[in-house]
Structure 1
């Protein structure tokens, strides 16, 4: 078919002629509308950060989660503050002080709660221990009582050493005292001081008879007041927490540390990394696109033409996004980079086609309409089919990608309009000159000519690749872990992953709701029997069993400890000689004990303590100045004794425990487990590591069989992933049908339609196999790759088929036309746009860039190598015998 006489040819030719003749007014109008777009977008475009909000509110799991948040609003967009300290006393004290600080800050927080520090748990904490544990604490407290009583009167290092010396003498005399935990605790504390990382001695751990760990954590739940008028809605509450931490002394050198995670912090960091990644990728994409343009058109005027049309189209698309949607999300925010990769394609094809027509020697006024008439129809087909590929996202339940589809699909239409209007206008001032072929691309042409001489080999290799890809399809995975989308090095993600390692406090648990106590008990009974479930926690578990017997043991502890109180500690001058003498006596006594009873159960711990004391005395002897000795002795005194008064105070409070029933639990605790309308919150913890997708599925599906309305992070991750996969199967199917119908209408040829679609389907198939080869699973961000490749690849395929079928270019000549050069350079710009996403800190965006880059490369191979062979085979069949 000769398109030079067609109506579309005349339409596009006249369009270009008009833009050329009215160039000044066209450019002026473009600048004005660009300025308006900038102002309008800057003042009205917002950003949504909640990943689950990208799915329709009608999806069942979102309905369940909404009910949960209505019943327990304190968990909505919450912050989880993690206090780390070398002792439980220090972690508790800081957490309690920080909670009180945040509770007073009504400007930035609705509420803040520290359940472990609630007075109810402080007073009744011993009731949650087992009877054997309480018996052991009673025995250790009885052994430590004389030491505590003496230290209460005079809490100094020399008193501490003297009492320990007396205790070792008791061991020597044959008395049965369990001092192993005390010896080990003191040794660990002294050794930490020598190692340059001092930590205090935990008396709470000594009373419990445990080994002191390096780190203890306390968790604070805070519900921030989001300012949705700001881009980063939780920025001010996060800033307030940081300021509070500094005010409370949680600086870099302090032993206690504060880390922030939780839904709000993760969303903040994810948006920050996505924004920063999009910004960096956009800049990199522009630089790379300019470099490609330097190779492709090699004139400043042509580069200005392409970049002006690119920027104008980008601004108009952003204004459209502002008007049509009003906001961007963590996926649609990538539209700018996608547009940069795609938006230059039309301008490159137009300019290179014009350059080819100009070789006739006619003036621009004559050649420009010819070029526009020739290329206009192909550009229209590309724009329509690519837009359909994007618009196919709109009907899906994945609202986040539906918005990207609407924005990007409309962006392709805008890009077409801008190209057909602005490029001809700028040709009046920057007409593209004739371009000499670059020697550097001859190897590319040589490589492309290979299929012409090895068509059978191409078909065989293609068949093998297709079969291999089909075999790989069952191994394609979807990563349901929303955490894997974010920058893995930010504090919120690292802290969240740390919490996942602790099964007791893991945020990865399922929440079920029960309307009354009876339903809660039934659910607990059924859920506890699942092999996929480790434990189930409700408010019913907050009423301990065997309370009467435990109360008797606690009363016995209280009688053993007695009415001990610590007088206020006043800084006083350290008697170096007295403390040295006491330490030396303790060291000598330990030595005698080890000589006399080397096989004693406490011998190993006593030997370690003796060695630590020897090291301490050697350090003190090596200090010449008395002031230095005083400083070291004071530091050791603080390490060993400064937590004792608080530990005793907390113990005495715990010794006031009284038996209680469920109705006696205070509201400060109850609100986290039983709502005001008596809805019970049930926390279900997994028995497996549900970072594994298969384990996640088993856990969620097992729980859902008993509690279909369950929610929580595991349910949301799995159900959202399933919804996204279904949405993209739907989107890909719609895109495929829509593109095929559009091609049939626009090309009016089944054969041409098949030729256009063949390389696209091959590229999509190969891209799916690449995810297996590269071990890059699909996720909530990169799953858009396949439908996008379908939309993107249309351009290359349409131009190649259009040039071959409508101008009768032979295979060998086709490779050296402006069409092939434009396809090649357009693919390079697209790869530059998508490839730049790989460097984003946002892992979802980076993986999307990787898959899109791989998809474009495969599309280029399919279009420039496989498609010409198919075109040759079709042409050969059409030739008469």
Structure 2
């Protein structure tokens, strides 16, 4: 029954070849025009996921409570010194806030006015007391620099300290770490290298660690989901601002972008490059296979036209039925080419065989429909059902692919029974005087038939081994492994994952109140799978009764020195050189050979 129906369809296409061809091509062109104007690309990954499952509802509630944490673009700044990193992050954040058309929300999670005012409270009492003693000891230097915040002020302060110390070697030795740092910076500059003086390190005497040299600027950018890279404009804007600020390896400041926006953008960029590459490769490989199998320019041309028409009709169907493509459904193009061309190859190869056997074109076309038609219908139907089985899922991205690819298979088989026979009737391929096949492969056929039991046994053994190895397959649940590992956003994210304080892999729970959050944190923190728990209470400094008196004493002692009412204006180069010479002369008088002062 199926064979007879297919035969009547193919015969109709042969008898009305021009009409069928024109109708199919006009319909395909109309579908292509409609798709070009209505088929959009939706890059919002959240729309690919179901909205009625519990975890998605929790995620939405969290986004509504903390909208500033949704769709983040993170600028990671690494610098040569902590001071340089802090300054670079602050300047970048200020410039980003000045462009609200690109950035709706900008913040520094590890800096800014809040930490400038309250940062000392986050030290332990012991650390705070140590820092306070160091700052009090450096009060003369701090006061001098506050009055003259320049290189002249620095060298004048050092000269004053050395002169006041006189021959007291212990007091002079207190300057050794400071003089060593200054000497190293000066030497690097003399050697033609970039160098920066870390005031933080000089004041605290502590070597900076990786966290000290890194700062973050987090922003919620304005996104455009009509393009493949929704955050491209914002990312370009950040790099432009960084260039204006002089961020470079020469200046000692390195900028990298990561976060959900950057990760998604680079994933779509990779997909765009890969889709173009894979489509071109698919077309080239398909053409090569067609020429090898069919050995006829007319047959190959008819198949390519059929394939192109099917692709355009499928795109039009996607525009009409779905309206947009997402990260998953955009792959329908490669799937369509790879699967639909197989129907045409099967039909055309069988046509060549029937042409050799039956001789005339009408008889060969009818014989093709009767012999291969049911098989192609079954194959196309099974493939379409396989894709359409995605439709019941709640994941919109996979559901859309199921509709588009399933519909594409039905379109492809219909064109192979209508357009392809019509094109063959018009171009009239030559006859087939020789039997179809590869003569050189005949010995292989005989070998397989003669040793069929061994072949079947070997196949069964391989199947058994494969089944035994199935438990060794592990499920990789890390979505980061689906992305290009060489892209900046992915490599930066993996770098941040090395530090438990900056890893992006965290579980977030929204609690009704701070007390509920504390109670939940205690229970969750006891789980062996949990490394640490952070709540809003974690950001409230502890032991403030011990820290505040220390800070008050520090403010009382350093306040007058820091708040100079009339600081000096910036000096000229001659004034700086004069101060350096005066400081050098003072050092020569008290410096021992090999000491930092003598250097």
Do both proteins adopt the same fold according to a TM-score greater than 0.5, normalized to the shorter chain? yes
Q: Which residue of 1 aligns with 2:181?
A: 185
Is the contact between residue 139 and residue 561 of structure 2 (CA under 8 Å) also seen in structure 1? no
Name the SS of the counterpart of 1:534 in structure 2: coil
In 1, the alpha carbon distance for the partners of 2:589 and 2:367 equals 105
In 2, the alpha carbon distance for the partners of 1:518 and 1:20 equals 79
1:406 aligns with 2:403: yes
1:174 aligns with 2:164: no
Name the SS of the counterpart of 1:117 in structure 2: coil
Measured after TM superposition, the shift of residue 411 of structure 1 is 1.0
1:27 aligns with 2:25: no
Measured after TM superposition, the shift of residue 253 of structure 1 is 4.7
| Aligned match for 2:469, one of 468, 472, 486 | 472
Measured after TM superposition, the shift of residue 582 of structure 1 is 4.3
Map residues 556-575 of structure 1 onto 2, 5 A cutoff: 556-561=553-558, 562-564=560-562, 565=564, 566-573=567-574
In 1, the alpha carbon distance for the partners of 2:10 and 2:56 equals 51
Quick check: 382-391 or 174-183, which moved more? Answer: 174-183
Q: Which residue of 1 aligns with 2:421?
A: 424
Q: Which residue of 2 aligns with 1:359?
A: 356
Is the contact between residue 181 and residue 211 of structure 1 (CA under 8 Å) also seen in structure 2? no
Map residues 553-632 of structure 1 onto 2, 5 A cutoff: 553-561=550-558, 562-564=560-562, 565=564, 566-573=567-574, 579=580, 582-583=583-584, 586=587, 590-592=591-593, 606=596, 613=599
For residues 307-337 of structure 1, give each alpha carbon's deviation from its aligned partner in whole angstroms, at most 9, with x where no partner exists: 1111111111111112222222222211111
In 2, the alpha carbon distance for the partners of 1:253 and 1:437 equals 72
Q: Which residue of 1 aligns with 2:5?
A: 11
| Aligned match for 1:279, one of 269, 272, 276 | 276
Measured after TM superposition, the shift of residue 586 of structure 1 is 3.9
Q: Which residue of 2 aligns with 1:92?
A: 86
Structure 2 CA distance for partners of 1:161 and 1:544, relative to 1, 3 Å? closer
For residues 164-188 of structure 1, give each alpha carbon's deviation from its aligned partner in whole angstroms, at most 9, with x where no partner exists: 7569976x63349655643553355
Is the contact between residue 247 and residue 253 of structure 2 (CA under 8 Å) also seen in structure 1? yes
Q: Which residue of 1 aligns with 2:255?
A: 258
For residues 479-519 of structure 1, give each alpha carbon's deviation from its aligned partner in whole angstroms, at most 9, with x where no partner exists: 11111111222222222222212221222111111101221
Name the SS of the counterpart of 1:535 in structure 2: coil
Is the contact between residue 76 and residue 214 of structure 2 (CA under 8 Å) also seen in structure 1? yes
Measured after TM superposition, the shift of residue 417 of structure 1 is 0.5
Measured after TM superposition, the shift of residue 347 of structure 1 is 0.9
Is the contact between residue 181 and residue 197 of structure 2 (CA under 8 Å) also seen in structure 1? yes
In 2, the alpha carbon distance for the partners of 1:487 and 1:168 equals 61
In 1, the alpha carbon distance for the partners of 2:189 and 2:428 equals 77
In 2, the alpha carbon distance for the partners of 1:430 and 1:477 equals 53
Name the SS of the counterpart of 2:425 in structure 1: coil
| Aligned match for 1:121, one of 108, 115, 118 | 115
In 1, the alpha carbon distance for the partners of 2:302 and 2:136 equals 88
Is the contact between residue 356 and residue 435 of structure 2 (CA under 8 Å) also seen in structure 1? no
In 1, the alpha carbon distance for the partners of 2:172 and 2:530 equals 44
Name the SS of the counterpart of 1:260 in structure 2: strand
Is the contact between residue 44 and residue 225 of structure 2 (CA under 8 Å) also seen in structure 1? no
Structure 2 CA distance for partners of 1:515 and 1:363, relative to 1, 3 Å? same
| Aligned match for 1:346, one of 339, 343, 346 | 343
In 1, the alpha carbon distance for the partners of 2:37 and 2:433 equals 47
| Aligned match for 1:228, one of 225, 229, 245 | 225
Q: Which residue of 1 aligns with 2:329?
A: 332
Q: Which residue of 2 aligns with 1:106?
A: 100
Map residues 46-85 of structure 1 onto 2, 5 A cutoff: 46-51=40-45, 53-85=47-79
CA RMSD of aligned residues (A): 2.9
Is the contact between residue 140 and residue 178 of structure 1 (CA under 8 Å) also seen in structure 2? no
TM-score normalized by the length of structure 1: 0.63
Name the SS of the counterpart of 1:488 in structure 2: coil
In 1, the alpha carbon distance for the partners of 2:394 and 2:383 equals 21
For residues 404-436 of structure 1, give each alpha carbon's deviation from its aligned partner in whole angstroms, at most 9, with x where no partner exists: 122111111111001111111111233333568
In 1, the alpha carbon distance for the partners of 2:99 and 2:205 equals 39
Is the contact between residue 297 and residue 435 of structure 1 (CA under 8 Å) also seen in structure 2? no
Map residues 502-517 of structure 1 onto 2, 5 A cutoff: 502-517=499-514
In 2, the alpha carbon distance for the partners of 1:575 and 1:135 equals 35
| Aligned match for 2:236, one of 231, 234, 239 | 239
Name the SS of the counterpart of 1:479 in structure 2: coil
Name the SS of the counterpart of 2:571 in structure 1: coil
Q: Which residue of 2 aligns with 1:206?
A: 202
Name the SS of the counterpart of 1:115 in structure 2: coil
Structure 2 CA distance for partners of 1:107 and 1:579, relative to 1, 3 Å? closer
In 2, the alpha carbon distance for the partners of 1:412 and 1:499 equals 45
Name the SS of the counterpart of 1:384 in structure 2: helix
Map residues 641-660 of structure 1 onto 2, 5 A cutoff: none
In 2, the alpha carbon distance for the partners of 1:187 and 1:435 equals 90
Measured after TM superposition, the shift of residue 454 of structure 1 is 1.5
In 2, the alpha carbon distance for the partners of 1:407 and 1:174 equals 82
In 1, the alpha carbon distance for the partners of 2:241 and 2:287 equals 47
Is the contact between residue 79 and residue 252 of structure 2 (CA under 8 Å) also seen in structure 1? yes
Quick check: 417-426 or 100-109, which moved more? Answer: 100-109
In 2, the alpha carbon distance for the partners of 1:391 and 1:17 equals 30
Structure 2 CA distance for partners of 1:339 and 1:168, relative to 1, 3 Å? farther
In 2, the alpha carbon distance for the partners of 1:504 and 1:89 equals 21
In 1, the alpha carbon distance for the partners of 2:588 and 2:190 equals 17
Is the contact between residue 87 and residue 200 of structure 1 (CA under 8 Å) also seen in structure 2? yes
Map residues 672-687 of structure 1 onto 2, 5 A cutoff: none
In 2, the alpha carbon distance for the partners of 1:552 and 1:357 equals 99
TM-score normalized by the length of structure 2: 0.90
Number of equivalenced pairs? 591
Is the contact between residue 527 and residue 536 of structure 1 (CA under 8 Å) also seen in structure 2? yes
Map residues 601-750 of structure 1 onto 2, 5 A cutoff: 606=596, 613=599
Name the SS of the counterpart of 1:514 in structure 2: coil
Higher relative contact order (CA 8 A, sep 6+): 2
Measured after TM superposition, the shift of residue 75 of structure 1 is 1.6
Quick check: 215-224 or 142-151, which moved more? Answer: 142-151
Q: Which residue of 2 aligns with 1:311?
A: 308
Q: Which residue of 2 aligns with 1:547?
A: 544
Map residues 123-142 of structure 1 onto 2, 5 A cutoff: 123-142=117-136
1:145 aligns with 2:139: yes
Measured after TM superposition, the shift of residue 350 of structure 1 is 1.0
In 2, the alpha carbon distance for the partners of 1:484 and 1:191 equals 45
- Where does structure 1 lack aligned partners over 5 or more consecutive residues? 1-6, 595-605, 614-881
